[in-house]
Amino acid sequence: MEHQFQGQEQTLQRQGHSGFAADWSSDQRVFKRVSWGKAMMWVLLLSDTFVFACFLVAYMTARSSTTAEWPNTSEVFALHIGHQNFPLLLIAIMTFVLISSSGTMAMAVNSAYRKARAPTALLMLATAALGAAFVGMQAFEWTKLISEGVRPWENPWGAEQFGASFFMITGFHGTHVTIGVIFLVIMARKVWRGDFDGIGRSWLSQGNGDYEGVEIMGLYWHFVDLVWVFIFAFFYLW
């Protein structure tokens, strides 16, 4: 068996837009030096981008076409602590928690490529814990809003479409976070056991010291954080 990147060296020497044209017109695989696992994860994330974009655009359409007043998110998501009212406080904390989980994930990828198994597994578990904390706070937020009378078809403060948009967007994002947490735990266990250093591939790991699976897991996790950036801006802050 020849090297898997054989025949690509010539096109790989070209950089920038010349390289872009060469890669796409080379009559070979387009994404050179990119494993299929990573390429397919990017395809998944691209399609997911469109799913979330559809939700956000639908929300914007509903919001700008309704004649009723849109509920003031700053007040709806405020927290009462003592005698003070902090606007959007829980959402801000959730944002920082998710960003921190992205930070620990990035460091897990770095450790994985150094083949430091224990730090990689622990950092991935820390990422999973922060993700679980995020979902927990989201569950708290849902409970609070539902108890205040928010439903997909009505709410006490204004435009009826508010509830449907909120549950749909945050629910779909929370599902993504939950799936990420589950896979982080599975992958952390496999890293800890040494599956990535073993001979031959298994589910989610290539073996032979190839830790790219951790980077691919990281792509998914950072994407979840990325989507939250847009939800935070368009749904909560706007």
Partner 1 sequence: MAQLSQTAEAQPKAASDDHGGQQHPIRLYLLVWGLLFLLSAASYFVDYAGLQGLLRWSLILIFMALKAGLIIAVFMHMAWERLALSYAVLLPPLVLIGLLAILLIESDYTAATRLVEFGTR
Contacting residues toward partner 1, per CB under 8 A: 1, 3-4, 16-17, 19-20, 23-24, 30-35, 38-39, 42, 45-46, 49-50, 53, 57, 60-62, 64-67, 74, 87-88, 92, 95-96, 99-100, 102-103, 105-107, 109-110, 113-114, 206-212, 215, 218-219, 222-223, 225-226, 229-230, 232-233, 236-238
With respect to partner 1, which residue has the nearer C-beta, 74 or 143?
74
What is the closest distance, in whole angstroms, from the C-beta atom of residue 110 to partner 1 in the complex? 5
Q: How far is the CB of 118 from partner 1 (least distance, A)?
A: 16
**Which is closer to partner 1, CB of 42 or CB of 142?**
42
Type of residue numbered 148:
E
CB atoms < 10 A from the CB of 231, how many?
21
In whole angstroms, give the CA distance from residue 165 to residue 85. 25
To partner 1, the closest distance from the beta carbon of 184 in angstroms equals 15
Q: Cα(174)–Cα(161) distance, rounded to whole angstroms?
A: 20
Smallest separation (angstroms) from partner 1 to the CB of 126 = 13
Nearer to partner 1, 152 or 207 (CB): 207
Q: Which is nearer to partner 1, 100 or 178 (CB)?
A: 100
Nearer to partner 1, 146 or 196 (CB): 196
Choice between 95 and 138, CB closer to partner 1: 95
Q: Are 164 and 152 in contact (CB under 8 A)?
A: yes
Give min distance, CB of 46 to partner 1, in A. Answer: 6
CA distance 33 to 142: 44
CA gap 68, 156 in Å, rounded = 12
In whole angstroms, the minimum distance from the beta carbon of 20 to partner 1 comes to 4
